[in-house]
Chains A and B, each alone.
Chain A
Amino acid sequence: MPKPFEGLRRQLLEAGVAPSQVGRYLNELEDHLDDLVEAALSAGTSADEARVVALGRIGSAETLAGAMLVRPDFRSWSARAPWLVLPGFALLALAGGYILSMLFLVGAVRGFGTVTAGHMMPPGWLPGSSRPLFGFDRFALPVLIGWCIAFAAARQRLSLTWPLASMIAVAVVGAGLVFSADWPATPRHWEISVGTPLFDPTLSIGWAEYASSVLGTLLCMLVPAGIAIRMHGGSAPIDPEGRSKCV
């Protein structure tokens, strides 16, 4: 038996209603439909007819969608201001990842380092461990953030403009970052730095490497993004009239 409110779900998501709100509405509608069917059955109606009667009483997809859409506060922030939420989330997530990595390194030095000749020296295992961490921040983190954006955009049936712009921003900023740590062998100060050739062309990364890194990141993001959009039905019209049906 087809799910009775799938068309309504799609219609509401495309109108920007928050997925959690849509899910809750549909769950309650399904409960209500079950009650109506049960009541019709106990009144002696046949099973098929009971369902038709119940669907008629619960309301048409247009009525049910209209009741939800009159409240703008049911819309998700990513639908209300995608130009702010998506790039903002992407860049904040990147920054958050870098800050956590830096805090981890500083914490490791402070927690496990030794003081030699008045200088705090990092533990021996830290230089080796920092390389995969920097690799994660530069390659995996932007891709993971891109997947999150793609999944959210597909789930909420957002238009592709802002998700794509955010993914490109994450790739451009994230894939070009150069992390470096100066772990001293003799007692002196040590430093961890992060930079991008966008602002500091003297960094040890060529433009060709930078461009291929950005492209590679974008490719890694876009393949699963395409799958996510396909799984969620994309943003194609629901039927030739652009309206969904309840059944």
Chain B
Amino acid sequence: MRQSNPNFMNGVPELLILSLLARREMYGYEMVQALRMRSDAMFNFGEGVVYPVLHGLEKDGALTARRKTVAGRSRVYYALTPVGSQRLDGMARDWSRLTDAIRGFLTDEPHAETV
């Protein structure tokens, strides 16, 4: 059994999911495969953990869910709401600042902005 990457649970999944759904509506399995492909399998997690994250985001009003039948398979598709877009913008901004700060720290360059 693969080990889950605990870091996946620290706000990153929300950011990645919102970012994926900013392009188009998707269902859970599709999102996980897209995440794997785009991250070059960097994120190693139990694929099922994506659903509580999706349900949580839906509860917060960031996503909407609807059951849709495509090619004979009924699946739950998720789409971003305006609240989700705002949340994505805020999280992406925070994440950028954080990674800049860490990069600055690792390269020993002073970072002007406070995170």
Contact = CB atoms under 8 A, between A and B. Distances in A.
Interface of A: 21, 24-25, 28-29, 31-32, 35-36, 56-60, 63-64, 66-68, 70-71, 73-74
28 contacts: A25-B52, A28-B28, A28-B51, A28-B76, A31-B27, A31-B29, A31-B76, A32-B32, A32-B51, A57-B2, A57-B47, A58-B48, A59-B45, A59-B46, A60-B1, A63-B4, A63-B48, A63-B49, A64-B46, A64-B49, A66-B49, A67-B48, A67-B51, A70-B9, A70-B52, A73-B59, A74-B52, A74-B55
A57 B29 CA distance: 11
Q: Which of A28, A56, A70 counts the most chain B CB atoms within 10 A?
A: A28
Interface string B75-94: 11000000000000000000
Contacts of A35: 29
Contacts of B76: 28, 31
Interface string B47-87: 11101110110010000000000000101100000000000
Contacts of B2: 56-57
Contacts of A73: 56, 59
Looking at chain B's contact residues, is the secondary structure mostly helix, strand, loop, or mixed?
helix
Contacts of A63: 4, 45-46, 48-49
B55 A60 contact: no
B103 to A, nearest CB: 29
Nearest to B65: A24
Interface of B: 1-2, 4, 9, 27-29, 32, 45-49, 51-53, 55-56, 59, 73, 75-76
Contacts of B75: 31
B51 A59 contact: no
A60 B46 CA distance: 7
A60 B53 CA distance: 17
Contacts of A56: 1-2
Given A28-B76, A32-B29, A59 B48 contact: yes
B28 A32 contact: yes
A25 B28 CA distance: 11
Q: Which of B2, B49, B56, B73 counts the most chain A CB atoms within 10 A?
A: B49
Contact of B55 (A21, A32, A36): A21
A35 B55 CA distance: 20
Given A56-B1, A67-B9, A71-B56, A25 B51 contact: yes
B55 A24 contact: yes
Contacts of B1: 56, 60
A60 B2 CA distance: 9
B47 A58 contact: yes
A60 B1 CA distance: 8
A24 B48 CA distance: 12
